Structure 1
Amino acid sequence: MTNYTAFPPLQASRFVDSKIAQFIETLKKIRFSGQLAWTAPKSGNQWIFYFCLGRIMYATGGNHPVRRWARNLAIYCPQMRVDFTLLQQDICQLEPTTFTISWEYQLLCLWVKQQKIHHKQAEQVIQSILSEVLFELSEAPGLTHQIKEDRTISEQLVLIDEKEAINLVQQLWQALWKAKITDYSLDKAPIIKQPRQLQQSTSEQVYQVLNQLLDGEKTLRDIAVQMKRDVVQVTRSLLPYIKLGLVQLISIPDLPAPVCQRVSRQPSAKAHHTIPLIACVDDSPSICQTMEKLLSAAGYRFISINEGLRALTILLARKPDLIFLDLVMPNTNGYEICTQLRKAPSFKNTPIVILTGNDGIVDQVRAKLVGASDFLSKPVDAGKVLSTISKHLPQHAVSPRGFD
């Protein structure tokens, strides 16, 4: 059964009276067992609630279900190291038939049974996750909902007090409203956009702290946990830098979900993700089209980015194996983008090849200083491009497919 609900923008003090909260209360009254799924048509995001006799057992979904779970595990179960290799081993202990509820919940059940975590710790993790999911829903416009009855769902761990979770959401909204930061998503990651100006506008000590924290790999919520501070305080402390354009909030992908690595009985073809992904950041459409034709024909996956200001967001999300980066672009340049990429742990060793029409030694030296791996002159030469890729990705050599 699917229904459409258009929610008006929520005020800071009204989430407790929202249709989301009222709908959850209705399912409680009818002692519903099964799944309630909310979907945001614009983004395609979906959030799933699991009910047992009208009480919430768990909630998941949205942009960062794995990141959210790992973050709350670090807060309430510090003895459990979030090692995805170990998580895969634990998931392999679960029977496929147990996945009526998400793997995150099943792992918590397993760890309580194995006495790796306490029952109270699991309850705190689930309560906090539910509050975060409800908060995300309160920000999403035009939600639709769908319910699926499942009387086989039974209590395995805890049944959550949804009123407490709703109150926590309301308190967070009120705190954000009071701090005048309701327009900033807590699930976005801050990254330094203007390092030189930021360094000049603050003390050296503060700059070093910001330089370490704002690597584009952690959301505002993640940073708050790392600093052991309230997320509202963290966001408010960064607000002056954000308003000045020195720090930018970007969208980042979720952490990879751990999966059980079972041995297949049949040999499989080479996985698509093992083929190197090459990115080209250049404001010239003709350069990007030439590179796409060349690299696609050579058997590589390819993405082109024509807007320099969007480059960091896309690159952080897609994580290409090698990047061709134009030196001169409107509103930004290759030096700045390269500098920011090298601050992100996942790009420490990614080959970054600077593209430029200028063969000057000054540009080459400066490119090396900001962490560039190589330097390629325009107009691009097919042989030099492929040789450069082979040089930096020898383990991923791809045989050409009909390029001439």
Structure 2
Amino acid sequence: MKTRVESTCNSLSAKLLRYGQEKFTGRLDLKVSTAQQWSFYLSYGRLVWASGSVHPTRRWCRQILYHCPEVNPNRIALKKIEPESCWDYHLMVLLARKRMINPQQTVVVIKGTVAEILFDIFQSLTLVSREKTLIQPSNDSVSSNTIETTVKKPDNFLLNAQLGVRPSIQGILPQTWMLEVEPTIKQVQQVWQQWSEMGLEDVSPDLAPVLLQKSALQEQTSVATYKNLVTLINGKRTLRDIAALIKRDLLLLTRSLNPYIQKQLIELVEVPDLIAPNFEDLPAKAGISTQKAQTQKAQTQKAQTQKSQTQKSQKKSDQPLIVCIDDHPQTCKIMKDVIQSAGYRFLGIQDSIKALPLLLKHKPDLIFLDLVMPIVNGYEMCAQIRRVSMFANTPVIILTAKDGIVDRVRARIVGATDFLTKPIDNQKVVAKVRKYHTTSPSKTDPV
């Protein structure tokens, strides 16, 4: 059985390597007997992109939030694209061209996307081979630009090549940003081997853990571990989502949860994919002259501006409110710029005496709290906030230049949720907000 499994995965790897060596340009469509399908895009033998699997939108959001925290994927509205285009790669091209992400970020997102898909393929092929389920090549006719790979029985997959197909009509990213086939495959094979050796072959990282027996789980874990589990596991986040959220290796995370899964204290369930980005009609029809298109675009923008002004007051109240309590005006100014740029409302409070009445009035969704302030320090303020029932579960993040063990312990005692060290780092601020406030801002930015 093990030989059959290894043979199938190695056979696919060999075929992909062959396309790389032959400098293939186009799309490779892969199908296994579970009816799952994936696609790889190559340009002159290098991996450009990959698509497929059960959660394409979750995967996109994970990769962007992890590697490009300054970009909020939930605020992107995309113009309509061709049905055959990959919307996620299409977005990558646009974000890169607008310099909203840099080349290094683009490459790691491509690597992460391709790695997730290769992992899913190796897992699917392993399970299919283990069950000895075979698939026969289709007798359906193929187009003139289609090459159908001959499939032997042990392979359990079909691989079709579509010549010249690109993932986006917007073009393609530079060749130096693409991936070499062989090292990419070897790296994922190593990860899958470790996953398999840990006895996790049947565990899909796209499943979401759910707490079944909280009382029994609490008895078998430390206070800190139980608190972390209850915070992270809500039945809506997959194993991959959680690993990305806490920036922990997926294998280590799953291995740590596996004993509780085996004891049926935690159950793994399927969850749906997230909603894909909005797709809007182009403002000007194809074939319109440049001058006319520019005029129409200006008129459209003017109309949209007028409309947005009338709706601004209504939308503004729907956006999450982030508060920063800090006696330094410069800190509040920096935080205001960062928070508002990320699409959230902001309220800066410099007088600690007035802080609590203002919090009761505005009811914020998250609070940044400076540790060292005159009259009332951060510890005392945090304790006061926690005494108010409506703020019992509101995230309170301590801002401090001191980040010692004693400071953290004392902050936890008075109810602080997390720490953020000074000086202010824009990306870390946004990452903290998204970590503790899952509701997306209502504003959308067309790309």
Q: TM-score, normalised by structure 1?
A: 0.56
Q: 2:14: which partner in 1? A: 22
Among 29, 36, 41, the residue aligned to 2:33: 41
> Which amino acid in 1 is paired with 2:191?
L
CA distance in 2, matches of 1:160, 1:263: 32
CA distance in 1, matches of 2:19, 2:181: 11
CA distance in 2, matches of 1:82, 1:163: 31
Q: 1:115: which partner in 2? A: 99
Question: Equivalent residue of 1:216, what SS?
Answer: coil
Q: 2:173: which partner in 1? A: 156
Among 159, 164, 179, the residue aligned to 1:145: 159
State the shift of 1:215 in Å.
0.9
Are 2:117 and 1:128 equivalent residues in the alignment? Answer: no
CA gap 1:63/1:50 in 2 versus in 1, 3 angstroms: same
* 1:28-107 matches, cutoff 5 A: 28-42=20-34, 44-83=35-74, 86-88=75-77, 91-92=78-79, 96=81, 101-107=85-91
| Deviations 1:354-378 (CA, angstroms, capped at 9, x unpaired) | xxxxxxxxxxxxxxxxxxxxxxxxx
Question: Equivalent residue of 1:184, what SS?
Answer: coil
Are 2:260 and 1:241 equivalent residues in the alignment? Answer: yes
State the shift of 1:152 in Å.
7.0
Q: 1:183: which partner in 2? A: 202
Identity value in percent: 30
Check conservation: 2:67, 2:109, Cα contact below 8 A.
yes
Q: Which structure exhibits the higher relative contact order, with contacts defined as CA atoms closer than 8 Å and separated by 6 or more residues?
A: 2
Check conservation: 2:29, 2:160, Cα contact below 8 A.
yes
Question: Equivalent residue of 1:207, what SS?
Answer: helix
Higher Cα Rg: structure 1 or 2?
2
Check conservation: 1:10, 1:138, Cα contact below 8 A.
no
Among 246, 255, 258, the residue aligned to 1:227: 246
CA gap 1:203/1:59 in 2 versus in 1, 3 angstroms: same
CA gap 1:237/1:119 in 2 versus in 1, 3 angstroms: same
CA distance in 1, matches of 2:166, 2:109: 24
CA gap 1:183/1:259 in 2 versus in 1, 3 angstroms: same
| Deviations 1:266-296 (CA, angstroms, capped at 9, x unpaired) | xxxxxxxxxxxxxxxxxxxxxxxxxxxxxxx
State the shift of 1:128 in Å.
1.5
| Deviations 1:314-340 (CA, angstroms, capped at 9, x unpaired) | xxxxxxxxxxxxxxxxxxxxxxxxxxx
State the shift of 1:103 in Å.
1.1
Structure 1: tracts of 5 or more residues without a match: 1-6, 265-404
- Aligned pairs, number: 247
> Which amino acid in 1 is paired with 2:91?
L
Q: Which moves more between the two structures, 228-237 or 168-177?
A: 168-177
State the shift of 1:201 in Å.
2.5
> Which amino acid in 1 is paired with 2:53?
G
CA distance in 2, matches of 1:87, 1:10: 41
Check conservation: 1:198, 1:246, Cα contact below 8 A.
yes
State the shift of 1:100 in Å.
5.4
* 1:380-395 matches, cutoff 5 A: none
CA distance in 2, matches of 1:8, 1:66: 35
CA gap 1:152/1:196 in 2 versus in 1, 3 angstroms: closer
CA distance in 1, matches of 2:38, 2:116: 11
CA distance in 1, matches of 2:187, 2:238: 20
Among 206, 221, 236, the residue aligned to 1:217: 236
Q: 1:202: which partner in 2? A: 221
CA distance in 2, matches of 1:56, 1:246: 41
* 1:247-396 matches, cutoff 5 A: 247-262=266-281
CA gap 1:256/1:235 in 2 versus in 1, 3 angstroms: same
> Which amino acid in 1 is paired with 2:163?
E
CA distance in 2, matches of 1:165, 1:35: 17
CA distance in 1, matches of 2:192, 2:123: 10
State the shift of 1:29 in Å.
2.7
State the shift of 1:151 in Å.
6.3
Question: Equivalent residue of 1:36, what SS?
Answer: strand
| Deviations 1:79-99 (CA, angstroms, capped at 9, x unpaired) | 11221xx222xx12xx635x6
> Which amino acid in 2 is paired with 1:75?
Y
